[in-house]
Chain A
Amino acid sequence: MTEATNRGPLVSAGTLIGAGLGGFLDGIVLHQITQVHNLLSGKYPPTTLVNVEINMFWDGLFHALCWVMTALGLALLWRAGGRADVPWSSRTFVGSLFLGWGVFNLVEGVVDHHVLKIHNVVQRLGESAWDYGFLAVGGLGMIAIGWALIRSGRNDAEPRGRSPVVG
């Protein structure tokens, strides 16, 4: 019997779902619940109703793109589940979710906070330790956890739905 060792489709699906969910968490916790920043709060300080509404529009577009990534990840996961060469490994999948979340935080942190400077983690402080903590913990930390989990599942070789051999 040939083992299922093609982990790419499962890892890419998990990475996209993790990135999408990570983006949603960023938007829900940092933009909406705590309101420490908005997507363009570096450019339109949310100190007037008009600026709050402008930021709300761009926050909405950001969430829409997170939705697209999540939906794309689910489509890839569905396809991966139908393939005999893809191992259906929980460790690989959960690791991919963490990897995607970390990649999203790292990319978003570097691009939005440091290169484009459209917002900072805590806007009223400007560039602060929060931005570097976000990159270290939310980015590199999550990527390390994800990669370790993916590695731990590298010997998993059962595809989805195949019954275990009995006796």
Chain B
Amino acid sequence: MKRLRRLASWCLYASCLAGVADACPVCDTDTGRKVRAGIFGEDFGPNLVVTLAPFPIVLGVAAALHFGLSSRGTTGEAHRPIEGGGG
């Protein structure tokens, strides 16, 4: 049991020293700086736009369904809250 615990501690210590852990975008290492430069370089704006691109379309579809289906078949109780329910 003691040996197992010592082995686990050693593995944890070794993983902290591993080079891969130093590659994060906020790490102050050579690889970290390259990652940061790759993310926040001149392509940041275009990359942000292409990442965001599908979301406004999906939101537009949801808005169209919200208001489009609301206008059909409403029977005059619109926006009246349920008595004692829903907050």
Partner-B contacts on A (CB < 8 A) = 2-9, 11-12, 15-16, 19, 39-40, 43-44, 49-51, 53-54, 57-58, 61-62, 65, 69, 73, 76, 78-79, 81-85, 96, 100, 103-104, 107-108, 111-112, 116, 118, 159-162
Main secondary structure of the interface of B (DSSP, over half): helix
Q: For chain A, what secondary structure do more than half of its interface residues adopt (helix, strand, loop), or is it mixed?
A: helix
Report Cα–Cα, A49/B87, bound state, in Å: 50
Using CB atoms, name the residue of chain A closest to B82: A84
> Are A6 and B70 in contact (CB-based, < 8 A)?
yes
Tell whether A82 pairs with B82 under 8 Å between CB atoms, given A5-B73, A6-B73, A8-B69: yes
Chain B interface residue bracket vs A: 35 or more
Instruction: Annotate B43-87 by CB proximity to A: 1 below 8 A, 0 otherwise.
Output: 100011011111101110111011111110111111111100111
B82–A162 CB distance below 8 A: yes
Query: Given B20, B38, B67, which contacts A8 in the complex, CB threshold below 8 Å?
Result: B67
A-B contacts besides A53-B35, A111-B54, A159-B82, 19 pairs, CB < 8 Å: A5-B75, A7-B69, A8-B66, A9-B66, A9-B70, A11-B65, A12-B69, A15-B65, A43-B47, A65-B52, A82-B86, A82-B87, A84-B82, A85-B74, A85-B77, A85-B78, A100-B62, A104-B58, A118-B50
